[in-house]
Amino acid sequence: MRTYVPGLLEAEQRWYVVDAEGKVLGRLASRIAYILRGKHRPEFTPHLDLGDHVIVINAEKVIVTGQKSQTKTYHRHSGYPGGVKTITFKQMLEKHPERVIYLAVKGMLPRNRLGRRMLKKLRVYSGPTHPHQAQTPEVLAI
């Protein structure tokens, strides 16, 4: 027998919308990464991008457990000596609420070309509206 390998053209990509209001950040991000990766499909293949598109709304209303809102930090570097910038979760949620979910999902995807391509199928919006009504996304209960 031969092993069945799905073609990229055969896989129909679906769109899902997720409401992040009141959801725990890590649990939400792991479920989104699971969908982006395509692991929910029976024809999942690790070396192919067979995942679906995910739209996240209400990113500003995501929560974290424990004291993470004060202790969790995000780092970035300007490239210059001493150029490390650090910001807490609470500050990041006020300034860039979309980035909180984006970075959490990014950390759960493969660190290669395939992972970067999967991450392009994630759209995060801080408010309750999104401009992707034409794709008729299905509501994903998480």
The CATH number of residue 23's host domain is 3.90.1180.10
Percent of the chain with pLDDT over 90: 89
Alpha-carbon span 102 to 122, nearest angstrom: 8
Question: Which band of pLDDT confidence, cut at 50, 70 and 90, is reported for residue 8?
Answer: confident
Structural domain span for residue 80 = 15-139
Q: How many CB atoms lie within 10 A of CB 39?
A: 12
Q: Is residue 1 part of a domain?
A: no
Alpha-carbon span 119 to 136, nearest angstrom: 20
Q: How many CB atoms lie within 10 A of CB 115?
A: 16
Overall number of domains in the chain: 1
Q: Is residue 7 part of a domain?
A: no
Q: Is residue 2 part of a domain?
A: no
Question: Which band of pLDDT confidence, cut at 50, 70 and 90, is reported for residue 75?
Answer: very high
Alpha-carbon span 2 to 126, nearest angstrom: 47
Which pLDDT score is estimated for 7?
81
Question: Which band of pLDDT confidence, cut at 50, 70 and 90, is reported for residue 15?
Answer: very high
Q: Is residue 21 part of a domain?
A: yes
Q: Is residue 122 part of a domain?
A: yes
Q: Is residue 6 part of a domain?
A: no
Q: Is residue 67 part of a domain?
A: yes
Q: How far is CA 23 from each of CA 65, 70, 101, 110, 128, rounded to the nearest angstrom?
A: 10, 18, 11, 24, 14
Q: Is residue 3 part of a domain?
A: no
* Region 61-72 average pLDDT: 96
